[in-house]
Each structure stands twice: as C-alpha cells, then as structure tokens.
Structure 1
Amino acid sequence: MPGRHLAIGDIHGCLTAFETLLALVAPQPGDVVVALGDYVDRGPNSRGVLDRLIRFEQDVPGVSLVSLRGNHEIMLCDARDGVAERRRWLDCGGDATLGSYAPLGQGASIDHIPVDHWTFLDEWLSAYHETDDHIFVHANLYPDVPLEEQPDFMLYWELWEEAPPPHESGKRMICGHTRQRSGLPRVTPYAVCIDTGACRDGWLTCLCAETGELWQANERGETRTLWLDEV
C-alpha cells in the first residue's frame, strides 16, 4: 500500500514545535514527508531545525524527506554575497538564525554556520514536488504555466492574496509562505495553505494530502488534530 504524503508548513526555527509535531504524526515506513520551506529565521533554533532535517532519514528509517526551498533559505544563502544582502536577511529574522549558531558567550557570525548546513541549503532543496494529485510548493503558482516553467518569483515569493484558480494540471496546490493569522489552514477547492504562524505564537501544521487529516503543534508543546473539512 502506498505511503502518505505529509506536508509540513513553515517551521521558522521552531524546533520544539517541529519535534512535537513529528511525534504526534509518527511517520511510518513508506511515507513521504514534504517540508515546504522556510526552515530558518525568526524562531529560536534554526540551527537545530536544519540539523534535524539533515539527519531526518537516518532518524526515521523508511521515511523519505523532500525539502523544498523557501524565500528565507534564499535570503540566507544570498547573505554570503555582500553587506546589503546580509542586512536584508538580518532584518527579515536572520538575526535569530545567527544567534542560534553563536558559540556560548560569543557574538554570532555567518562564519559559524557549518559546511554541512550550507551543503543542505545549496544542494538538497527542491523548487517543488509533484504527485498524481498534488503540487507541493513554498509560495504560489501561475495557474496557466507548466510547473517546470514557473518563475522563481511565484515559487518562492508571491503571497496568496485571493483564492487561486485551478492549475492547468488539474492538481491541487499545497503551499506555505502566506501566514494564516487564524492558526488554521486556508482551504479552497484548488489549494491549501498551511503556513499557520509557528514562529508567531501560532501553530506548525502537517497535512496528509491523501486523507485531509491535519496535525498541529506549537512551541509550548501543545497539540491538536483535525480534518480539512472541519476548517
């Protein structure tokens, strides 16, 4: 029997919520966990989140991880290029990320980020993930553009202001990026947004694409379970 596709919204350095959510969902061999990007910035432990993702398949044997790229990973990587890029990243929550790498009692520097983290950010992240029925992406899609031709602006940056029309593939989009202040996913016939504000006193959400089951956890270690048709 095929495994589940388990989408996880924007983690943003919230390692406690991430660990609590994984324990609640309990991925099983054959499942595919699709992390939708924005692993870093704003929350207290971006370093711990990246460590967890890097060793994920070792810690959870038989479960596959697909890690998508978010705009915050792009900003972090761009921060190596110059002062202006680094300032932009720091202003968008990168200061919290940098602090998670600071040696005890010392100031933080981008040089403290280890090589294996840069390798993960540069080489392991995907632009999107596609199944027979769903498209997983960080931010958004043009409805009339094939997936492989979508511009970076849509994939990583474009907010979901209005309910998106169906993609030409007929597949439902599952995304993050646009924070839902209600703490609940935004659901339409053609798309689901599961960025539910984990780093801003909200929830980190996991959605089973096949069944519509939802699990949520927060940085206080609280959990709740519901279904898409209840939202």
Structure 2
Amino acid sequence: MKTFVIGDIHGAFKALQQLLVRMQLQPEDQLIFLGDYVDGWPQSAQVIELLIELQCRYRCIFIKGNHDVHCELWLQNNRNNSTWAQNKGLPTIQSYEPLNNENRLKHLEFFSRLQFFHIDANDRLFLHAGFKNDNGPAAESPVENLTLDRSLWELALTMNKRVISHPALYPKRLKLFKEIYIGHTPTLIYNETIPMSACNVWNIDTGAGHTGCLSAMDIDSKEVIQSDIVQELYPEFRRYRE
C-alpha cells in the first residue's frame, strides 16, 4: 500500500489523467489531494468529475483550496464574484456550461465534503496552504485561513538552515507534526520544478496552474511522479495566473 500526495491541479484535466497513468496505482493505494482543483486551465468540471470517480476506486482524501471555496460559492448561489470570474474563474464557469443541474448538484456535494486539513495516524498534516496558530490548524480562525496562509511555508524556508545548527530554534508551529504537506505556493517561484522541502514541510505545488507540471509524491519513499508541462497539453489556451 502506498500513499500519494498530489499538488494543485487548477483545471488541468489532461495532466491529471496523464499523472494517474504514470503513478501505476493499485486498488489499495491512498490518494491525498491538496486542493485547488479548479481555475486556470479549461477543464475544471472534468477534473471534479474524475475526482468523484476516483473515490470509488481508491481511498481518497480531498483537501479544500482557496479556489475551491470560490467555485463552491458559485455553485451554491449561481452568481459569480466578478473579480473571481474575470481573473481566475472564467475558464471554470465555461467548463460547467455543458453540465445539467443534476451533475452540478453532485459537484456541489463534492465541494461541501472537502476537508480543510487532515492528520494521519503517523502525525502527518495535510492542508492547502498553512496556519498561523501555534495550537495548530484546528485552532485557526477563520478556518479559511488554512486555504490562504503562506507564512508557514515562509517560516520553514527561513528557518531551514538555522535549525540544523541550532535545533532549539525549531519553530513551535512546525514541531506540532512529524511532517506537513502543502500546496498553494508554486515552487516555480523558487526556480524549482519538483516538490520542495524545508524543515519538515513539503510543498507539492509545482506550478500546474502556471508553466509547470502536476506532481504526485509517495510520502514514504519520497518518489516524485510528474505530468508533462501543462501548457504543452493545452497549447491553444491562455493561462490564468493566481
């Protein structure tokens, strides 16, 4: 049995399909998705449909990202936030045009079941972005901060070299868990095309919503599997940045 953590998808249905084939999954494997399933590339609705199917075949855990929050609100109210629609959500809205009300309701139910964080039996935390509260993600308020916070990753990056020489400096927030897995902040910002680690934090967002690949990582062996560069899979579409 393997457990894979998968980074931000951002509507890249073709990349998700390709990645799943390359992962050579077995029925007993577990998949943990870190959120931001929608917004960016043109097949957000198809991504959600595939994720719903996957939970019938594998043990899946789905984390909620900030882009998923917007899409859920849109599906609930049938009204779009103009800023979201113009800057990020338009490809998502267009992808939903062929779907009937029954399928839209099925997708809304999927969004409503997304978790803001997950802690496994080995004290490993999975969430979309980060948390600021020294008592952990369960104490974070409002809970939507877990989809937006970048300070945890910035803290890990800042302290990574320091704690090697001075273990006493290890930040309290990071010591709450054996490992922490996040997305939200593309590693491309740091000129990295594969998942990055700093202290005990792993960033799995390798920029599928931008000019990078979609990545999965075996959390035990740390083996990384990637799709092709997503923009090469959608050469006819413009990118929508964060």
Q: Secondary structure in 1 aligned to 2:32?
A: strand
Instruction: Provide the identity percentage.
Output: 29
Between the aligned partners of 2:61 and 2:49, the Cα distance in structure 1 is 15
8 Å CA contact 1:101, 1:112 repeated in 2: no
Are residues 1:139 and 2:129 paired? yes
Which deviations, in whole Å up to 9, do the C-alpha atoms of 1:120-150 show, x marking residues without a partner? 112x211111121411110012362233223
> Among residues 163, 186, 190, which one is paired with 2:156 in the alignment?
163
Q: Give the direction of change, closer, same or farther, for the CA distance of 1:111–1:90 in structure 2 (3 Å limit).
A: farther
Taking the aligned partners of 1:116 and 1:183, their CA distance within structure 2 comes to: 34
Alignment of 1:70 onto 2:65: yes
Q: Distance in 2 between matches of 1:191 and 1:169?
A: 12
Alignment of 1:206 with 2:216, yes or no, is yes
Query: Which residue number corresponds to residue 185 of structure 1?
Result: 195
Alpha-carbon shift at residue 113 of structure 1 (Å): 6.7
Alignment of 1:2-151 (within 5 A): 3-58=1-56, 60=57, 63-79=58-74, 80-81=76-77, 86-103=81-98, 114-122=104-112, 124-131=113-120, 132-142=122-132, 144-151=134-141
Return the alpha-carbon distance in structure 1 between the equivalents of residues 135 and 11 of structure 2: 32
Number of residue equivalences: 209
Contact 2:125 2:177 in 1 (8 A): no
Report the CA distance shift for 1:28/1:143 in structure 2 as closer, same or farther (over 3 A).
farther
| Counterpart residue identity of residue 50, structure 1 | I
How far the C-alpha of 1:91 sits from its partner, in A, is: 3.3
Q: 1: distance between equivalents of 2:102 and 2:40? A: 18
Q: Deviations over 1:134-186 (max 9, x none)?
A: 11110012362233223324311112334264524232110100111132222
Higher helix share: 2
Deviations 1:8-61 (A, max 9, x none): 000000011101111111221322100000000011100110000011133x3x
The aligned counterpart of 2:204 is 194
Deviations 1:78-99 (A, max 9, x none): 335586x611321341101011
Q: Flag structure 1 segments of 5+ consecutive residues without an equivalent.
A: 104-108, 222-231
- Letter matched to residue 172 of structure 1: E
Tell me the TM-score normalized by structure 2. 0.78
Q: Write the distance in 2 (CA, Å) between the matches of 1:215 and 1:48.
A: 21
Query: CA separation in 2, counterparts of 1:48 and 1:150?
Result: 32
TM (norm. structure 1) is 0.81
Relative to structure 1, is the Cα distance of residues 190 and 154 closer, same or farther in structure 2, using a 3 angstrom cutoff? farther
The residue type equivalent to 1:27 in the other structure is L
Q: Distance in 1 between matches of 2:93 and 2:139?
A: 34
Structure 2 residue ranges without an equivalent (≥5): 158-170, 234-242
8 A Cα contact 2:132 2:149, kept in partner: no
Partner residue in 1 for 2:163: none
Query: What amino acid maps onto 2:62 in structure 1?
Result: S
Letter of the 1:78 counterpart:
L
Q: Is the contact between residue 133 and residue 139 of structure 2 (CA under 8 Å) also seen in structure 1?
A: no
